[in-house]
Structure 1
Amino acid sequence: MATKIYLNYIKFICLFSGLIIGFSSCSNKPYQTLFEPNGNITANQPNNFTIAGVYKIKPEDILQVRNLQNIKFILEDVNTSASSSQGSGSNAASQAYPVEQDGTVALPVIGHVAVAGLTRQEASKAIEDMYRKKLIKDPIIEVKIINLKVSVFGEVRSPGNYALVKDKTTLIDVLGQAGGITDKGNEKRVKIIRGGTVNPQVTEINLSELESLTNPAVIMQNDDIVYVGQNKRAVRNDKIQNISTIVQPTLLLLNTVLLLFTLK
């Protein structure tokens, strides 16, 4: 009787272990196929970027405007404590100005300036010219577009949203801001998701190849998502850990039951 119970026990353990391994493999599948490529990203996606990767201002953008030469004519009463760490000198100040639907931005003294369709440098020049004509002798205007961002998550040290405050920000720049790829990360399959919810497209970048640095897709665009998945070693270790976590207490329980049967 005990031998028959033991054989049944062995059969059950084999079947149970097979099911556990199968379910563990299936549970990891969605994680590994997250953002699988379904198309190619070109350098000229419709995201208000030029072919060279330089952004053109559009309505509802938020501009940060600085007069590096003389702040008192533009931002007399602005609290500059929040922006002092970003400045190009202790005399710089800034404030956020929204671009209106007609493509203009309203600035102190000079009023509305048309900026839609201009790059950041072109907008700086246009604002400088207006202040030079109306108020300031030698203005030095700096413009930043502060609402542009990239989301980074997966196997990086500091996942989160990162602002695109300079032109031609690259994938390497953004990963650097996120603290770099962890030991579990797969640098050969870094995914960039672009196009929003209407037309999302995914491309994979192999950072172990030098050619990836010249790929136009690595120039970040507004609302890009960067995802770093796990490497094979990390995936394998996770599977083993998951199986071990589930199987060990189950085996302990079954061994206890078998022991009770054999003692009868």
Structure 2
Amino acid sequence: MRLLLILLFIISSSCSSKKDILLIQDANLKQDYNFKFKDIKIKPDDILRINISSKSVNVASLYNSGLNPSQTGNILSYQIEGYLVNSEGYVNIPILDPIMVNGLTLSEASNKIQKQLEQEDVLKNSTVDIKILNAYFTVIGEVNSPGRYSFLENNMSIFQALGIAGDLTING
């Protein structure tokens, strides 16, 4: 009898209610979660979308593929059109000397490319926008759709990543 009571106690104490497994319990929905993201740094094998704009539309168009998401619909087509950062950390942009971008943030690389366009007398008063096209994250564990996901945003929170992966399962 004593053994039966001990087993019953152990089994019942290991159970949890639904309230115990909610992602955020009693969260103040008005609370704004301010995340401090680290700036993304460019590294070898990154594929960069480099968009250069200027008043000299004809010259600037030489560097831009002309693709936009509405024309292609997926990240793979962007990757085909991007600039690869080679194993030494350089990106080769037509007409310009190779540019070292390894370890730079997107903003720093934009400024560096813009300065090089001006220094080499290729394009004056330009603006340069850079995105990493082959950025990805992996979600494993108790989510509805574990796997590897590509994204184009500069930053992503854990809540956004879980949402893309279909949220936690009831066991998560």
Deviation at 1:74, TM superposition (A): 4.4
Deviation at 1:171, TM superposition (A): 1.1
The percentage of aligned residue pairs carrying the same residue is 28
| Correspondence 1:113 to 2:99 | yes
Residue of structure 2 in register with 1:152 after alignment: 139
Inter-CA distance 52–77: structure 2 relative to 1 (3 Å threshold): closer
Inter-CA distance 164–84: structure 2 relative to 1 (3 Å threshold): closer
| Correspondence 1:136 to 2:107 | no
Match of 1:62 among 44, 47, 66: 47
Structural mapping, 1:1-264, within 5 Å: 52-69=37-54, 72-76=58-62, 80-81=66-67, 83-85=68-70, 95-133=81-119, 134-152=121-139, 154-156=142-144, 159-178=146-165, 180-181=166-167, 185-186=169-170, 230-231=171-172
Inter-CA distance 152–72: structure 2 relative to 1 (3 Å threshold): farther
Inter-CA distance 84–166: structure 2 relative to 1 (3 Å threshold): closer
Question: Quick check: which has more Rg, 1 or 2?
Answer: 1
Residue of structure 2 in register with 1:225 after alignment: none
Deviation at 1:166, TM superposition (A): 3.2
Deviation at 1:159, TM superposition (A): 5.0
Structure 2 distance, partners of 1:164, 1:132, is: 31
**RMSD of Structure 2 on Structure 1 (CA):** 3.3
Runs of at least 5 residues in structure 1 that lack an aligned partner in the other structure:
1-50, 87-92, 187-229, 232-264
* SS of equivalent to 1:161: strand
Residue of structure 1 in register with 2:33 after alignment: none
Give the number of the structure whose residues are more often strand, by fraction: 1
Runs of at least 5 residues in structure 2 that lack an aligned partner in the other structure:
1-35, 72-77
What does the per-residue CA deviation read over 1:166-207, in whole Å, with 9 as the maximum and x for residues that have no partner?
Answer: 3332112223334x426xx14xxxxxxxxxxxxxxxxxxxxx
Q: State whether residues 58 and 117 of structure 1, in contact with CA within 8 Å, keep that contact through their aligned partners in structure 2.
A: yes
Structure 2 distance, partners of 1:140, 1:78, is: 12
TM score, norm. by length of structure 1: 0.41
What does the per-residue CA deviation read over 1:48-82, in whole Å, with 9 as the maximum and x for residues that have no partner?
Answer: xxx9522221222211111144654244386534x
| 2:38 counterpart letter in structure 1 | G
Aligned residue-pair number: 128
* SS of equivalent to 2:98: strand
